[in-house]
Amino acid sequence: MVKKPALRVAVIMGGESAEREVSLITGAAVIKGLKNAGYRTKAYDLIEDLEVFFQALKKAKHDVVFIALHGPGGEDGSIQGMLELLNVPYTGSGVLSSALAMDKSRAKDVYRTYGLPVAKDLIIDRRAWKDDRQNILRRKIATLGGAIVVKPISDGSSVGVSINPPKTQWEAIITKLLRKHDKILIEEYIQGRELTVGVLGESALAPVEIRAKNGQFTYEAKYHDTSTEEICPAPISAALTRKAQALALKAHQVLGCSSYSRTDILLHPKKGLVLLETNTLPGLTPASLLPRELKVAGITFEQFLNILIQDAIMKS
């Protein structure tokens, strides 16, 4: 019997977003795992000219592209759209679901349409802030309560997020963020236990509870603070576990996600579960949350990667 040649997988990572560092680590972990699983791999760092990359991609004739990018440019549907134009199979969610999930405001509109629980919020754009700053500070933000969370519409890994800052700092924080972004999202601050739930295929994985040292799971806490506790399975009741899993699976479905995702959820003592956001390309670094959930489920990293590769081929 003639042995089939190993599939050729292009792993695209890096890029120019604020999550470049995490993407490179994810990409390295993916390449190692794919090689262990018997695939042939080639790495592409999208810090390079995109036209050069796509020309190289067409010339190399890879069987599948594994998207290990994070943030704008990789997680927002743009790279997915280009790969579809080239008719190249790729891992993860498609163009529309990637774009929806990346835009936190639009994703929340979808969640609300399907009756999923979300925090109250307010969108502020640069022009409105310039023209009506004091009214926004004194009246509009007041509708969210006395504590807020300020975040970019489209960044991930908690980049640029300010959680429950002092009221005296609101104006400076919003002004600074609007220098980088055309519009931002301001949400009511809900203090609760932080959970995250991965989805693989049509099943939700075991929830993880995140206990950051200062109570805030910031970028620093995610990737550099060794005191952050990540407990999987989360120490919550079986009933709450099922509800959190159902919520993550529903979020995955209503956004039209494919193959895998990870949804962040807050558990409030009175409000119950509150959906924060869904990540269509969650981190796959050794320190990331999804690999912990896979381990608890008895799924090796190599098996997980193989599932994503086979899904990509089937979708194409």
The pLDDT tens digits of the residues spanning 231-276 come to 999 999 999 999 999 999 999 999 999 999 999 999 999 999 999 9
Fold of the 121-188 domain: Dna Ligase; domain 1 (3.30.1490)
* pLDDT above 50: residue 96: yes
Which among 215, 222, 263 has a CA at the least distance from the CA of 243?
263
Residues of the chain with pLDDT > 90, as a percent, come to 80
Fold of the 101-115+192-280 domain: D-amino Acid Aminotransferase; Chain A, domain 1 (3.30.470)
Give per-residue pLDDT as tens, 183-205.
999 999 999 999 999 999 999 99
Domain ranges of the chain: 8-92+308-315, 101-115+192-280, 121-188
* The model's pTM: 0.92
Same fold, 101-115+192-280 and 121-188: no
Q: Could you tell me the strand order of the sheet in which 40-45 lies? A: 40-45, 8-13, 64-67
Q: For residue 279, what pLDDT band results from cuts at 50, 70 and 90?
A: very high
Give the rounded distance of the alpha carbon of 165 from its chain centre: 23
Give per-residue pLDDT as tens, 102-116.
999 999 999 999 999
Hey, is 194 helix, strand or coil?
strand
Q: For residue 214, what pLDDT band results from cuts at 50, 70 and 90?
A: low
Give the rounded distance of the alpha carbon of 75 from its chain centre: 8
245 within 8 A of 202, measured Cβ to Cβ: no
Query: How high is the mean pLDDT of the chain?
Result: 92
Hey, is 248 helix, strand or coil?
helix
- What is the structure's pLDDT at 2? 42
What value does the mean pLDDT take over residues 42-56? 86
What value does the mean pLDDT take over residues 74-86? 93
As given in the structure block, the two tokens for residue 276 are 């924060």
What is the DSSP-derived secondary structure letter of residue 46? T
Give the rounded distance of the alpha carbon of 26 from its chain centre: 13
Residue with tokens 């924060």, as numbered in its chain: 276
Residue with tokens 């929830």, as numbered in its chain: 207
Residues tagged active-site: 19, 157, 223, 262, 264, 277, 279, 283
Q: Domain 8-92+308-315 class?
A: alpha beta
